[in-house]
Structure 1
Amino acid sequence: MRPIRLPEPPNGSFGVPEIFDGRIYGVIRRAIVIGNGFPGAENQCLGLVRALGLSGRHSLYRVMRPRGGTNTWLHWLPVSVHKKLDSFFKQIFGDSSRKVEGKNGMPLMTKKTGLSDILEADAKQIAKEARETFDMDGPLLVIASGRDTISVASSIKRFAPENVFVVQIQHPRSRLDRFDLVITPRHDYYPLTPHARQQIPWLLRRWITPREPPGKNVVLTVGALHQADFAALRTAASAWHNELASLPKPLLVVNIGGPSSNCRYGVDLAKQLASMLQNVLWSCGSVRISFSRRTPEKVSKILVEEFKTHPKVYIWDGEGPNPHLGHLAWADAFVITADSVSMLSEACSTGKPVYVIGSDRCTWKFADFQKSLAERGVVRPFTGKEDISESWSYSSLNDTAEAANRINLALAARGWRILTSTK
């Protein structure tokens, strides 16, 4: 197995003295994660929790939007407005999710989300808990990610400023002083550049993040935070050893996401990728292909038809355990579609060769992200002319650990610290 070139996770110790003479004040023992139900956002929070040494000592809350039916077209509204509008529609028309027909003429139903065991985020209740448990349990660390969580996280800070430390992941557009720290990728500041302003209609500029340069409480990252740290990949390497260790080398892992409004592609890119993979198969010992939840069937179908009988290629069908972490641990190289900041960030943290396809189709700040990766030498465009057995070295992305370090420093400046061991 090729070594996983990852730095050890931070140990959370910054030599902060017990300034409260052994009392619990100032020692953070627990965290609350405010999620929005989207894996891309929540995984960033959970990755940060891991890096801070608080795994197993956190609770997950979610900001719940109405789902199904007409709600599909209302996600651009603030959550509070969306809920009021949904309630209004239900009073007049009944359950709005049953009043809109799908493409097949059948009514769209609200799907079961499986979130019944996760509490809805209530800023007042969480702030009350932070105040009431402060003397016994110390401060509360709150980590939130995604646009829908901004109002809840900032309200918790407003209701209990002396009892919480609030971290907002992804840029909250304005009034960054509502949070103790904001963690956001550098490409979120692309809208401030002259070139970006030419792409944005004047009337929309005030809604595009951000409105001012980063301040002292802003931590800039290259990519997205994630859970694929050293310990996670070491565990995955062991868990997937029997299935992946014996595969002929080099092992090429191909991760395919899905088109977005800022990175559009379809059957044309799928055909291009299939052709390129055929051209490099001679240099591969084995190839494993995975699709994401966002991958259109018309894209996956082309690749499945092309490689379903090829002896070197295995295509994960979505059944059984997800091999994603195992792939990150055991792969010798990656080919990844440009639409996924998360998948690219994870792969670029391994120190292994990462090839990107479709970056020329990305626009706006996502094109800036691709440019940043290329300039750092962590990715190269996939051309179909590569020898996968060849490698190159680069400085691995280490955004999650670096963000955790910044949190620890900010806490120390406040006289607080994280208790990383409960022994």
Structure 2
Amino acid sequence: MVEAVAEAGDLDVVRKPLAFNPLGWLLNLRPGGSLFTLRPGARKSIAAPWPDVVVSAGKRSAAVALWIRARSGGRTRLVHLGRPSAPLGWFDLVVTTPQYDLPARPNVLLQRFPPTKAAGRRVAVRPDLAALPRPRLMAIAGGDADPQRLDADAARRFAEAALASARESGGAALLATSPRTPREAVAALKAVAAVADVSVGLSVYGEGADDYRAFLDAADAFLVTDDSASMITEAALSGAPVELFALPRRPGLKVRAFRALRRIAGRRAAEWTVALGLVRANRDIDRFIAALRADGLLDGGARAAGVAAAELADVASRVRALAGASRR
């Protein structure tokens, strides 16, 4: 996301890979930010000359961005992607999507997709995958993302649903895992694939050749677990229709606590605490999915890629404007 925005802004880009220490749980309540959460090597890399704009994502990088602006004398403009877990007013632009349910503010830009490079034309399908019967369904398994849980039972049902779809269509199933897929879920997927009565491919992250990208190029349709906005976005931008597999919901302590806050204090008070950075808003993927479905962005075709490209162009224009303001 960060690189997509930086490159689309058509500005000189300097990448600063960040490595964090265990202090990442600290709240971002210092307007001048800090480098407390950085490991020594990464800390040394944050040095002048200070940029016109910092594009950040994630709770821990927000503190680094704030620190850079303070050292620049307030000249550097800040763009944050997602939810900064800090007072929203400290940033010049916050680009977010519906699952974070951030309060409406003049500097908060709500979009349907995370900032993503426009999907390019697919490359030729690899010969061994092209030989599989069509339609080819790519089934992408994510992992736990509170409150969603991908346990062995959910993984088994997910794989069985993919094979049933391939069986009904007369096509093939391409099963792929992600870096977040738990070991017990991987084992369940392997067990189902081993006894499949349809043509099946399996790509397990970290085991052997990584066929994930090749599967994407070969897919005529997708089945995706409903835990990851980035996975859903990648599938939607392919132009193939996307179905979602609902994972079981078992909320953890943080999700339950935020729900209790909203129930007791009311929505407006909860929004106030989020806007001030006192509370990290829940991630509600169902809101993200509902917005895509309402606009037909999971139905296949070129519309999803067109919307994503227009949204990225909007963010890029705003980044260029902030860079120009920084130089004045």
User: What amino acid sits opposite 2:288 in the alignment?
Assistant: F
Shift in CA distance, 83/162, structure 1 to aligned 2, threshold 3 Å: closer
- Matched with 2:254 is none
Question: Of 133, 138, 161, which aligns to 1:248?
Answer: 133
- Matched with 1:402 is 311
- Matched with 1:51 is 8
CA contact (8 A) 1:47 1:400 kept: no
- Matched with 2:165 is 280
**TM-aligned CA deviation for residue 242 of structure 1:** 4.1
**TM-aligned CA deviation for residue 344 of structure 1:** 0.6
Structure 1 Cα separation of the partners of residues 300 and 18 of structure 2: 41
User: What amino acid sits opposite 1:167 in the alignment?
Assistant: V
3-state secondary structure, aligned to 1:273: helix
3-state secondary structure, aligned to 2:311: helix
- Matched with 1:129 is 49
Structure 2 Cα separation of the partners of residues 83 and 175 of structure 1: 18
C-alpha RMSD of matched pairs (Å): 3.6
Structure-to-structure mapping, 1:186-197, within 5 angstroms? 186-189=98-101
Structure 2 Cα separation of the partners of residues 161 and 75 of structure 1: 25
User: What amino acid sits opposite 2:311 in the alignment?
Assistant: E
3-state secondary structure, aligned to 1:60: coil
- Matched with 2:106 is 216
Structure 2 Cα separation of the partners of residues 378 and 152 of structure 1: 35
Structure 1 Cα separation of the partners of residues 128 and 10 of structure 2: 30
- Matched with 2:293 is 374
CA contact (8 A) 2:69 2:78 kept: yes
CA contact (8 A) 2:143 2:227 kept: yes
1:354 aligned onto 2:242? yes
Partner deviation per Cα, 1:286-326 (whole Å, 9 max, x = no partner): 22111112212221212211212545101113345533333
CA contact (8 A) 1:63 1:148 kept: no
Q: TM-score, normalised by structure 2?
A: 0.73
1:301 aligned onto 2:210? no
CA contact (8 A) 2:55 2:79 kept: yes
Structure-to-structure mapping, 1:194-343, within 5 angstroms? 210=102, 213-226=103-116, 229-231=118-120, 234=122, 237-238=123-124, 241-282=126-167, 283-308=169-194, 310=196, 312-318=199-205, 319-343=207-231
CA contact (8 A) 1:262 1:366 kept: no
Structure 1 Cα separation of the partners of residues 214 and 11 of structure 2: 23
**TM-aligned CA deviation for residue 142 of structure 1:** 1.8
Partner deviation per Cα, 1:4-31 (whole Å, 9 max, x = no partner): xxxxxxxxxxxxxxxxxxxxxxxxxxxx
**Larger-gyration structure (1/2):** 1
Structure 1 Cα separation of the partners of residues 136 and 11 of structure 2: 34
User: What amino acid sits opposite 1:308 in the alignment?
Assistant: A
Structure-to-structure mapping, 1:90-169, within 5 angstroms? 120-121=42-43, 125-126=46-47, 128-130=48-50, 140-160=52-72, 163-169=75-81
User: What amino acid sits opposite 2:303 in the alignment?
Assistant: S
User: What amino acid sits opposite 2:157 in the alignment?
Assistant: Q
Shift in CA distance, 84/174, structure 1 to aligned 2, threshold 3 Å: closer
Structure 2 Cα separation of the partners of residues 344 and 377 of structure 1: 13
Q: TM-score, normalised by structure 1?
A: 0.58
3-state secondary structure, aligned to 1:277: helix
Worse overlay, 146-155 or 319-328: 319-328
CA contact (8 A) 2:115 2:311 kept: no
- Matched with 2:256 is none
Structure 1 Cα separation of the partners of residues 325 and 126 of structure 2: 41
CA contact (8 A) 2:8 2:316 kept: no
Structure 1 Cα separation of the partners of residues 323 and 106 of structure 2: 14
Which 5+ residue runs of structure 1 have no aligned equivalent?
A: 1-43, 67-73, 86-114, 131-138, 190-209, 380-390, 418-423
Structure 2 Cα separation of the partners of residues 264 and 241 of structure 1: 33
**TM-aligned CA deviation for residue 219 of structure 1:** 1.7
User: What amino acid sits opposite 1:373 in the alignment?
Assistant: L
User: What amino acid sits opposite 1:269 in the alignment?
Assistant: A
**TM-aligned CA deviation for residue 175 of structure 1:** 3.0
User: What amino acid sits opposite 2:20 in the alignment?
Assistant: M
User: What amino acid sits opposite 2:21 in the alignment?
Assistant: R
Shift in CA distance, 322/141, structure 1 to aligned 2, threshold 3 Å: farther
CA contact (8 A) 1:181 1:407 kept: no
3-state secondary structure, aligned to 2:145: coil
